[in-house]
Amino acid sequence: MPVITLLEKLYGRNSFKLLETQLQSLCEGLQATVKVVELTDQGWIRVNVSGEDETAASNLLKERFNLAPVELKNVEIGNVQKGKIFVSEKDSTEIYVDVGVFVPKPIEASISLQHLQAQLVDGKELPLQRLTKLFCLADNFPLKILNKRLDNKRSRFVAELSEKQIALFSEWTLSNLERLIVLGTFSENIERAVKASGHLRDVAEIETLGLLEHAVVCKLGTYAAGLIPKVGRLLPNVALKVFSPREIQRFTETFR
């Protein structure tokens, strides 16, 4: 079976062994072995699937995680594309999304501040750093974007948020439930940390956004920032961000 590149990255303190255990557990019941072959320079996970049920296991992994396009020719302009944010806080005019194109060279997508303002806060002129903080647009946060065109001069896709991504943020905001965004660990570790911290009764559920990216949904009246001191100390080297509908509403009302 040829090597396939999952549209997921491995980062933080997570090892190949932990990753293989996770992937193998997804293929439980199938006669197939999943081995992590390597990580690309950008951190994308490349795996080999072998065994009697290798086709079924590969299809299962593809359905669960999607496959990276790898080459530019495999990206269709105008289609929804998944990716991961990177160097999100180092530019004041746009954010960048790694969409899994790295052969023969990496080509990422960029979303301008103007597009983010129009799509997230009805055109209000919030600065990029404020927007990225409010909507947790941090490194490795998974996004569904729409590639509008390829800027050949910059070797970069010009993109905007997809309708599905906007709908997700709208749903989170309208729910009035705060979320603690956890970037860099598996869901089982988060579940253990929530229980061990004594905050199980404050959490409604844990939503999976990606392999290592999750949203801890707080119950009504619980503030996500309040979970950080106790839950955070049980999740070392993991990025924690707060998605607060209350804060989003406050800032969007201020910038009229």
Question: What is the DSSP code string of 192-225?
Answer: HHHHHHT-GGGEEEEEE-SSSEEEEEEPTT--GG
Q: Give the model's pLDDT for residue 91.
A: 74
Domain segments of the chain: what residues? Answer: 4-67, 71-168, 176-254
Residue 243's pLDDT band, with cuts at 50, 70 and 90, is: very high
Of 96, 107, 93, 167, nearest to 137 by C-alpha is 96
The topology (CATH level 3) of 71-168 is OB fold (Dihydrolipoamide Acetyltransferase, E2P) (2.40.50)
Q: Give the model's pLDDT for residue 255.
A: 60
Cα of 149 vs its chain's centroid, Å:
22
Q: Answer whether residue 89 shows pLDDT above 70.
A: no
Sign of the CA dihedral 166, 153, 5, 84?
A: negative
Residue 130's pLDDT band, with cuts at 50, 70 and 90, is: very high
> What is the chain's mean pLDDT, rounded?
94
Interatomic CA distance for residues 128 and 131, integer angstroms = 5
Q: Give the model's pLDDT for residue 88.
A: 61
Q: 67: which DSSP letter?
A: B
Interatomic CA distance for residues 256 and 251, integer angstroms = 9
Q: Answer whether residue 129 shows pLDDT above 70.
A: yes
Contact between 171 and 213 (Cβ < 8 Å): no
Range 176-254 classified under CATH 3.90.1150.10: no
Angle at 83 between CA 36 and CA 178, to 5 degrees: 105
Segment 44-74, tens digit of pLDDT: 999 999 999 999 999 999 999 999 999 999 9
Interacting residues of 4 by C-beta distance below 8 A, sequence separation 6+: 46, 47, 48, 49, 58, 61, 62, 67
Residue 256's pLDDT band, with cuts at 50, 70 and 90, is: low
Report the predicted TM-score, pTM, of the whole model to 2 decimal places.
0.94
Segment 158-176, tens digit of pLDDT: 999 999 999 999 999 999 9
Of 32, 28, 39, 34, nearest to 98 by C-alpha is 39
